[in-house]
Amino acid sequence: MNVGIVGLGLIGGSFAQAATRAGHSVAVWNRTRATSERAVADGSAATVLEEDMTSTAGSPDLYLISLPPDAVVPWIDAHQSAFKPGAVVVDATGVKGAICSALRKYAYDDTPWTFVGGHPMAGKEVAGYANATPDLFSDASMILTPYPSCGRGPLDMLEAFFKGLGFGRVVFTTPEHHDEMIALTSQLAHVVSSAYIQSPPCSAASLSV
């Protein structure tokens, strides 16, 4: 399958490497073209994805959008007319409600391609393409938040694709449930940890009984 990776940070770079290892033809796009060319040079991808969404391997059947949350919707809006009929577009951000709401306009009209919200539950304490690895997703969960209008065909394809990259399971849910789950299990923990670290040290006297 022809796979387009948009954004070559830790997640996008790891997607490119894992998809290449799984036998897919990978084309990559990054705001800094030199990073895309580096991915091709080191074998993480087959070719660079141009601004018109073409490459020497042809137009992608699947796009994985690994951009910051505030960049996903503008990028898709700017390039949506170049997606070929039948293509599936998946983002990889940790917030689904706002993105899926903004892109809902493509779900219930005659748009010839399909958008599915996504979130790979994987990462490291370091970021950037230099830290990408094809094993990042080993046994991880891939969460997908399709619209009710999405047929089984794209979802079956995505489940097989992500499991082929090493994910242990693919979970289908709603954007709202995803965001609630992440808020309680991840974001709340970050808030509490940050508050603890930034609090004045407790004195020995205040800890005495």
Q: What is the pLDDT of residues 65-91, one digit of tens each?
A: 999 999 999 999 999 999 999 999 999
Give Cα 176 to chain centroid, integer Å: 18
> Tokens at residue 147, please?
């619209």
Mean pLDDT of 148-167: 96
Residue 189 has pLDDT above 50, yes or no: no
Flag whether 188 is in a domain. Answer: no
Flag whether 118 is in a domain. Answer: yes
Average pLDDT, the chain: 90
Flag whether 90 is in a domain. Answer: yes
Q: What percent of the chain lies above the pLDDT cut of 70?
A: 87
Mean pLDDT of 40-47: 98
Mean pLDDT of 33-39: 98
37-41, 115-119, 130-134, 191-195: which has the minimum mean pLDDT?
A: 191-195
Work out whether the CA dihedral 55, 58, 59, 64 comes out positive or negative.
negative
pLDDT tier for residue 155 given thresholds of 50, 70 and 90: very high
Residue type, 18: A
CA distances from 173 to 19, 44, 52, 119 (A): 24, 31, 32, 11
Q: What is the number of structural domains in the chain?
A: 1
Flag whether 198 is in a domain. Answer: no
Spatial contact of 40 and 52, defined as CB atoms under 8 Å apart: no
Own/partner contacts of 199-202, CB < 8 Å, gap of 24 or more, are none
Flag whether 197 is in a domain. Answer: no
32-41, 67-76, 96-105, 194-203: which has the minimum mean pLDDT?
A: 194-203
Spatial contact of 51 and 41, defined as CB atoms under 8 Å apart: no
Flag whether 208 is in a domain. Answer: no
Q: Which residues pair with 28 in a beta bridge?
A: 5, 48
Nearest to 69 by CA among 106, 119, 19, 111: 119
Residue 106 has pLDDT above 90, yes or no: yes
pLDDT tier for residue 184 given thresholds of 50, 70 and 90: low
Structural domain harbouring 101 = 2-175
Residue 188 has pLDDT above 50, yes or no: no
pLDDT tier for residue 204 given thresholds of 50, 70 and 90: very low
Task: Give the CATH number for residue 125.
Answer: 3.40.50.720
CA–CA dist 64, 62 (Å, integer)? 7
Nearest to 115 by CA among 65, 187, 181, 44: 65
User: For 154, phi and psi rounded to 5 degrees?
Assistant: -60, -35
> Which string of b and e fits 65-89 if b means at least 16 CB within 10 Å?
bbbeeeebbebbeebbeebeeebbb
CA–CA dist 21, 43 (Å, integer)? 10
Residue 164 has pLDDT above 80, yes or no: yes
Nearest to 89 by CA among 20, 18, 144, 46: 144
The pTM of this model reads: 0.86
In 51-178, beta strands by DSSP E: 62-65, 88-91, 114-120, 141-145, 169-172
Flag whether 200 is in a domain. Answer: no
